[in-house]
Amino acid sequence: MPATPTPPALPGRRALIGLPLLATGLGGCAPLRPAMPPATPGPTPATREAADSRLTLTLHARLRHWVDLPAGYADDPGRRWPLIVFLHGSGERGDDLARVRVHGLPRHLDAGEAVPAIVVSPQCPADHDWDPHWLHALLGDLQQRLRIDPARVTATGLSMGGAGCWDWASAYPQDLAGIAPVCGFGRWLRVARMRQVPVRAYHGLDDTVVPAQAQQDLVAALRAAGGRAELTVYPGVGHDAWTPAYADPGLVPWLLAQQRP
């Protein structure tokens, strides 16, 4: 992808470096060891034991990100705003933060589209995929620094970012009021966990990078689990489903309308 010039500084936009820390206790107890009889001479019989381990997982991630604040954010210090998290695709990974704004929602913001929400666009480190634990920790960090309505947090993303939306919602359904993945993919066996998270998905019918069937399977699995999901398929469109998807005048209003009970 050709080098992208750094976008001009606009009011309400900040480039920030986040250092979220996630510590998750995975439960468990001390190993269960049945009492063994005293040692006796002769062959030692085979033994079997059930054991459980108490594990603590600590993850460190450095996620640089853009923060686009809506018009009027500074006018009412008591007002909380919806948050939309935009996840880019694999081509925008690395340490050039300007690349995050070449596609999708950030590009539309740069073109002057007004979004009455806080929009945060993190950058995935090189040679990594979107990790739902990172995104969960990033949300916690953002909630400490910004006036976010916790019931109105949504995510959208393209390709690898679309997969990141599905994975995040499956791992932490309590974080999100809705997701809008574009040419996404994921693990359909896990989507039952996110049955309370509505989905508005998009895909190109002629996509040879991520076949449309990958996202059709996710949508079908979520519906079968009792969830709400809709999928817009563009005939004649390949992997670049993000151009028509983010031009959809109903996409942002749909995200803004989602609210967790």
| Structural domains for the chain | 13-24+55-257 (3.40.50.1820)
- How would you classify the pairing of strands 229-234 and 118-122? unpaired
CA 151/CA 163 separation, integer angstroms: 22
Residues of the chain with pLDDT under 70: 1-45
Cβ contact 226:196 at 8 Å: no
Whether the full predicted model's pTM is greater than 0.95, yes or no, is no
Cβ contact 123:82 at 8 Å: no
Place of tokens 């480190």: 125
Nearest Cα residue to 29 out of 51, 4, 60, 14: 51
Collapsing DSSP to helix, strand or coil, 22 comes out as strand
CA 246/CA 78 separation, integer angstroms: 31
CA 88/CA 168 separation, integer angstroms: 14
Q: Which residues partner with 229 through β-bridges?
A: 199
What number of other Cβ atoms are within 10 A of residue 177's Cβ? 24
pLDDT of residue 15: 54
Q: Which residues partner with 212 through β-bridges?
A: none
Phi and psi angles of residue 111, each rounded to the nearest 5 degrees, phi first: -85, 0
Question: H-helix or E-strand containing 244?
Answer: helix 242-246
CA 115/CA 67 separation, integer angstroms: 13
How many Cα neighbours within 13 Å face the side chain of 135? 34
